Structure 1
Amino acid sequence: MEKPLLATDFLDRARRHYGDEEAVVATTGERYTYDELGELADGWAAALQSRGVEKGDRVAVLDPNTHYHLAAAYGSMQLGAIHTPLNYRLVPADFEYILNDASVKAVFADHAYAEKIEAVRDSVPTELFVTDDPDAVDGEWQSFDDLVAESTDYDRPEMDESDLITINYTSGTTGDPKGVCRTHRTETLHAYLVSIHQELRDDDVYLWTLPMFHVNGWGHIFTVTGMGAKHVCTRGVDAGKIFDAIHDEGVSYFCAAPTVLNMLQEYYAEHEPETTAGRPIRVATAGAAPPEATIRTVEDEFGWYLKHVYGATETGPLITTSDARRFFDQESDERFAVKKSQGIGYLGTEVRVVDDDGEDVPQDGQTIGEIVVRGNQVMDGYWEKPDATEEAFNERAEGYYHMGDLATVDENGFVSIQDRKKDIIISGGENISSIELEDALFDHDAVGDVAVIPAPSEKWGETPKAFVVPANGDHENPGTTEKDVIAFLRERIATYKVPGEIEFVAELPTTATGKIQKYELREREWADEDRMVGEG
């Protein structure tokens, strides 16, 4: 038989079997059972429906990792409305673009970030503005708590697994952000895969260090809920509070970018906190692998088990894992070679490394090609961008999503990233477009020419660095300062995108036709590293 795969099933299941069990530890210290979380979601659905929000309408959530985000996401989806989480690190101009691009009808914004929406309120189509604390926000905002208390009665529409249910916006690595469209089916199958490969169980206690806005928290808003496990919410990453939560709440699983692992390592070295509450802990990290020393500390000193996974917003995100235990001995240093690779494909996921003609490269661990993927967790396409969708799926290998990462593959099919094809910088787990940075820098009167590349960073893995040819042609007296240029950028782009260094140069390396050779700049910056890709 066939049953539709619906994202709403996850909370439905938790309410049915775990209604009286603790579901969420809020950032305020309040605790909610699954029945209570469900009532909040019902109240949000009823409030939206009574105000004209219908199936297919977009409802945005701008929120750190609080219980409001979970309730708003499920409440919207119960109406068949499209959950559209927003990156709270962006600036008002970014929100103006996204809210217009998706024609967002309603938005919930945490009080700490609502001012960014208020700043563009008059230039977006959004009709309903809701926050957790209206008294802390300028402008006319309605109270989430008041709205959900009105009623829990709503009519849930018929939904199909092919219906769009989430839009996750990329960081705009090639121009404006693109909305990644995901259906009930793609969200559900990705959640199933995460539940299997990340070993989710109903007695797990999951600590939210990974942003919920980031591809729906790698799908963990679905997996943790559906399994009936417990969410421990946070308002940000604080090393001390992470160790406290692990001890006080009995955390058994969480996700952490390599930069977060570094923060925990530094805190541990200084404070020596308890690292477990007497139960095994799994920690997942993604992208480029953390250094061997970090893996050693996490596993040998903290006593945690590290899982290295890989993916992209467009792919669910997760498509590979290095947690292939038949290929390493957990007690041996040989495990590092496996755990530092991006690994092998998830169940039902076809991951290939192909050359310029779309043919598989030899499995020799040496030949470099681009990673492409095909799987049920991969997006349907970009929101109202058919040309970008066509290119993303057909550039080298027809019908495969192209990751933009250059890698090798060994005799066992383990993929290892070596470089990037696109002008993308991944700093602290966030994608940053060098093109966007260059455009912003060109707006500065003292900038004549510019090239932005990723530079190594001990803290972030890699960070943007800008090479600037002054407009006056004198790199020794450029007519401005590094401090001035950075201040200029901070007013125009999200803080996390601002370069860590500005270097004034007489000229940029170019080809015979005048194209800037960023590769030469990267070679110079990464000369002391073993690969030209960061660990962030």
Structure 2
Amino acid sequence: METPLIVTDFLEQARTHYADEEAVVATDGQRFTYDELGERADRFSAALQERGIEKGDRVAVLDPNTHYHLEAAYGSMQLGAIFTPVNYRLTPNDYEYILSDAGVDAIYADYEYVEKIEAIRDDVPTETFVTNDADAVSGEWEEFDDVLEEAGTEFERPELAEDEIITINYTSGTTGDPKGVCRTHRTETLHAYLMSIYHEITSDDTYLWTLPMFHVNGWGHIYAVTGMGATHVCTRGVDADTVVSAIREEDVSFLCAAPTVLNQLIDYYENEDEPEMSGSKQVRVTTAGSAPPEATIRAVEDRFGWYLKHLYGATETGPLVTISDAKRLIDDENRFEIKKRQGIGVLGTDVRVVDEDGNDVPRDDQTLGEVVVRGNQVMDRYWNKPEETEAAFNDRLEGYYHTGDLATVEENRLIALRDRKKDIIISGGENISSIELEDVLFDHDAVADAAVIPAPSEEWGETPKAFVVPSNGDPSDPPVSAVELTEYTRDRLASYKVVRRVEFVEDLPKTATGKIQKYELRQQEWDGEERMIGQG
């Protein structure tokens, strides 16, 4: 028997079996059961319908990780409206582009970000504006809780089909205008199933929201955690003291954290005389994308006592397509080597690394190729961008999403991400992985953060340059010199890979999810050049 896969079923599952159990711990300490969360979502659905929102309309949500985000998401999707979460760290111009590009009909925005929407309000098609503290903002905004109270719980539910678009997630926009990634009920549902399996989510889990909910719908956790009847612990940003306190007080068992967040927690642990980093439950933590340094993994597992998983993917893929948690392949000797890899493809997912002709690269862990993916969790298309969609699925290999990431493959088909296609450094005809250089720099005690990019070189075409955040935070007086760092890399790398230039900085440009925006660094470095690649 075939039944449609519909994302609102996740909330219905929790309401059916866990109605009286705790669903959400709000940022202000309020607590909601699944029955209460469901009722608030129903009221938001009714309120939107009263304001003319119909199936297929777009509803934007601009919010840190609060209970309002969850209520607005499910309230929108129950109407068949397309849930459009938005990065809360963007500029007014960015919001103007996204709201206009998606044709957003209604927006809920947290009070902290209303001012950015007010600045472009007259330039977007949006007509309904709701916030969670109308008294604290300027402009005509409706109060979320008042809207719910006045609406009641009755609304007309449309018939939903699994192949219909239900959410648009905009990419980070590190290389230009962001693209709207269209995901259907089916892609979201199957991806949430994968997350439930590989993150081993159960009803007695308590999940701490350190990962932005807007980012690929919180990697699908707004569905998976809800559907399993686990508890959401909300936050307003990441602060190490708050995170550790929440882990202990709420007995958190699961969280996600970018490598930069893990490093913040390590610094906190060391500066606070090694406090307890968990409650009564074993803590699982997942990080994503480029691998954290081995020293970070070792600290998290051996000093915190947590269990770390490393996943890989993109907004376009859900994101989960590979994971490092290949337990049967891990032993004491290779534990860190495997956990630093992006890992093996997850169930129902065809992950390949191919050369420019679309052929699989040899499993020698040396030959670079592009990661391409085919699976049920991969996006439907880009919103209103047919040419970009066509290119994304048919560049080297027809029918596969092309990630733009370069990787190698070893004998067990575990992939290791080496670089972005656009970030590879070609110096004197030799390919250099910036990630390999960054990994070496991270091992130096005087380096708190680092990003390596190609810099123009008359001799070599390109040469590696490192932007380094010193451990003391003072780029004018770092505890190590540029020459010393160059020699440090020389002792650990092939001669052609040595970091030739070092610039100390206070911080690095990053997206809301902790990705370093190398595009900004490259633009800065290649300013005045005819092109942003060298002729090496």
Residue equivalent to 1:530: none
Distance 1:506 1:496 in 2: 19
User: Are residues 386 and 504 of structure 1, via their aligned partners in 2, closer, same or farther at CA, if it must alter by over 3 Å?
Assistant: closer
Residue equivalent to 1:276: 278
**Structure 2: gaps of 5 or more residues:** 425-433, 439-450, 454-461, 472-502
Task: Please tell me whether the aligned partners of residues 245 and 251 of structure 1 are also in contact (alpha carbons under 8 angstroms).
Answer: yes
Residue equivalent to 2:366: 366
Q: In structure 2, what residue type is equivalent to 1:213?
A: F
Distance 1:299 1:519 in 2: 44
Distance 1:34 1:209 in 2: 21
1:287 aligned to 279, 286, 289, which one?
Answer: 289
Alignment map for 1:126-525 (pairs within 5 Å): 126-150=126-150, 151-271=152-272, 272-329=274-331, 332-422=332-422, 455-457=466-468, 508=529, 515-518=531-534
User: What SS class does the counterpart of residue 153 from structure 2 fall into?
Assistant: coil
Q: Aligned pair count?
A: 463
1:196-217 Cα distance to aligned partner (Å, 9 max, x none): 0110000000000000000000
1:174-210 Cα distance to aligned partner (Å, 9 max, x none): 4311100000000000000000011000000000000
Q: Under a length normalisation based on structure 2, what TM-score does the superposition of the two structures give?
A: 0.82
User: Are residues 419 and 157 of structure 1, via their aligned partners in 2, closer, same or farther at CA, if it must alter by over 3 Å?
Assistant: same
1:58 positional shift: 0.2
Distance 2:469 2:402 in 1: 29
Distance 2:101 2:40 in 1: 28
Q: In structure 1, what residue type is equivalent to 2:107?
A: V
1:418 positional shift: 1.0
User: Are residues 459 and 77 of structure 1, via their aligned partners in 2, closer, same or farther at CA, if it must alter by over 3 Å?
Assistant: farther
Distance 2:130 2:10 in 1: 25
Q: Under a length normalisation based on structure 1, what TM-score does the superposition of the two structures give?
A: 0.82
Residue equivalent to 1:469: none
| Bigger RCO of structures 1 and 2 (CA < 8 A, at least 6 apart) | 1
Distance 2:101 2:92 in 1: 14
1:335 positional shift: 0.3
User: Are residues 154 and 237 of structure 1, via their aligned partners in 2, closer, same or farther at CA, if it must alter by over 3 Å?
Assistant: same
Q: In structure 1, what residue type is equivalent to 2:321?
A: I
Distance 1:339 1:21 in 2: 35
User: Are residues 345 and 519 of structure 1, via their aligned partners in 2, closer, same or farther at CA, if it must alter by over 3 Å?
Assistant: farther
Distance 1:160 1:60 in 2: 21
Distance 1:453 1:57 in 2: 47
Structural RMSD (CA): 2.8
Deviates more, 1:159-168 or 1:333-342: 333-342
User: What SS class does the counterpart of residue 378 from structure 2 fall into?
Assistant: coil
Give the fraction of aligned pairs with identical amino acids, expressed as a percent: 66
User: Are residues 70 and 517 of structure 1, via their aligned partners in 2, closer, same or farther at CA, if it must alter by over 3 Å?
Assistant: same
Residue equivalent to 2:49: 49
**Structure 1: gaps of 5 or more residues:** 435-450, 461-481, 509-513, 521-536
1:422 positional shift: 3.0
User: What SS class does the counterpart of residue 422 from structure 2 fall into?
Assistant: coil
User: Are residues 36 and 423 of structure 1, via their aligned partners in 2, closer, same or farther at CA, if it must alter by over 3 Å?
Assistant: same
User: Are residues 452 and 222 of structure 1, via their aligned partners in 2, closer, same or farther at CA, if it must alter by over 3 Å?
Assistant: farther
1:172 positional shift: 2.0
User: Are residues 4 and 274 of structure 1, via their aligned partners in 2, closer, same or farther at CA, if it must alter by over 3 Å?
Assistant: same
1:128 positional shift: 0.3
User: What SS class does the counterpart of residue 286 from structure 2 fall into?
Assistant: strand
Distance 2:533 2:264 in 1: 34
Distance 1:152 1:178 in 2: 35
1:376 positional shift: 0.1
Q: In structure 2, what residue type is equivalent to 1:284?
A: T
Task: Please tell me whether the aligned partners of residues 526 and 532 of structure 2 are also in contact (alpha carbons under 8 angstroms).
Answer: no
Q: In structure 2, what residue type is equivalent to 1:193?
A: L
User: What SS class does the counterpart of residue 237 from structure 2 fall into?
Assistant: coil
1:515 positional shift: 3.9
Task: Please tell me whether the aligned partners of residues 89 and 496 of structure 1 are also in contact (alpha carbons under 8 angstroms).
Answer: no
Q: In structure 2, what residue type is equivalent to 1:180?
A: V
